[in-house]
Amino acid sequence: MPATPTTPAVAPLLIAIEGIDGAGTTTQTERLRAWLEASGRPAHATREPSTGPVGRLIREVLAGQHAPFDKAALALLFAADRMDHVTREIEPALAAGRHVLTDRYYHSSFAYQTLDADGAWVRTLSARARRPDLTLLIDLPAEVAAERRRLAGRPDELFDALVTQRRVADAYRALARELSGSERIVVVPGDRPADAVFAALCVEVERVLAEVAPPARG
């Protein structure tokens, strides 16, 4: 179990947890929230698609309830949901002094929606989204993620075909390399036990917290 952080209080951070379907982003987001809370650091866990009205529609589309559905229209829905998500949930939580951990953020749009729509256009849609202080990309082979989904009994969704997930995994890796010069994005190997992945994620969060902590008073 990772050590409990002991750094001084810091301004609340926005942390995105990314990865292909089956990477464990949802599980690790909740574990990070609980870990921060246990150390006395208020934290809020959220997700994209969000629980707002647009996010609920997106989840219906992903489940195949509105097929066929135009892929460019889906990209627009993701961008609209993100704007609503930031305004409705992320910014208020940060303003209240809570660290925000989001299970997926605009990096998911860059990795998924650009498979079927112009990449520059997709990125423009999220140009106004708040930039995260840290992005953690849980990276693992698409075959491993697919087996995890199967064992969990998860029904297939719109992007779950193995060939698609391979493309998304490659897109995420390319995105991490590209954004490394402008954002803090860390790739964490995900083809390990969940506890090992969690420990690695905690190390990265601790590192950012320590860097932004105010200096100790003499």
Tens digits of per-residue pLDDT, 145-189? 999 999 999 999 999 999 999 999 999 999 999 999 999 999 999
**AA letter at 28:** Q
Instruction: Find the mean pLDDT for residues 119-123.
Output: 96
Q: What is the mean pLDDT of residues 61-89?
A: 96
Burial (CB < 10 A; 0-12, 13-18, 19+), residue 103, is buried
- Give dist(CA 93, CA 43) in Å, integer: 8
Tokens of 35: 């870990």
Classify burial at 65, counting beta carbons within 10 Å of its beta carbon; exposed 0-12, middle 13-18, buried 19 or more. Answer: exposed
Asked whether the predicted pLDDT for residue 216 surpasses 80, the reply is: no
Q: Give the Cα separation of 208 and 183 in Å (integer).
A: 13
- Whole-model pTM: value is 0.92
Q: What share of the chain is helix, strand, coil (3-state, %, to 5)?
A: 50, 10, 35
Domains of the chain: residue spans and CATH = 14-212 (3.40.50.300)
Q: Compute the distance between CA of residue 101 and CA of residue 172 in angstroms, rounded to an integer.
A: 19
pLDDT in tens, 63-72: 999 999 999 9
Q: What whole-number distance in Å separates Cα of residue 59 and Cα of residue 158?
A: 10
In terms of DSSP bridges, do strands 99-103 and 185-189 run parallel, antiparallel, or are they unpaired?
unpaired
Average pLDDT of the chain? 94
Q: Are 81 and 73 in contact (CB under 8 A)?
A: no
Amino acid at 166: R
If you average pLDDT over residues 7-26, what whole number do you get?
89
Mind giving me the DSSP string for 112-134? HGGGTS-HHHHHHHTTTSPPPSE
Instruction: Report the interhelical angle of 142-152 vs 162-179 (nearest 10°).
Output: 120
Which of 181, 184, 96 shows the shortest CA–CA distance to 133? 184
According to DSSP, residue 163 is labeled: H
Q: What's the rounded Cα separation, in Å, for the pair 27 and 101?
A: 12
Residue that the structure tokens 């506890």 belong to: 195
pLDDT of residue 213: 75
Q: Could you give phi then psi for residue 8, rounded to 5 degrees?
A: -65, 165
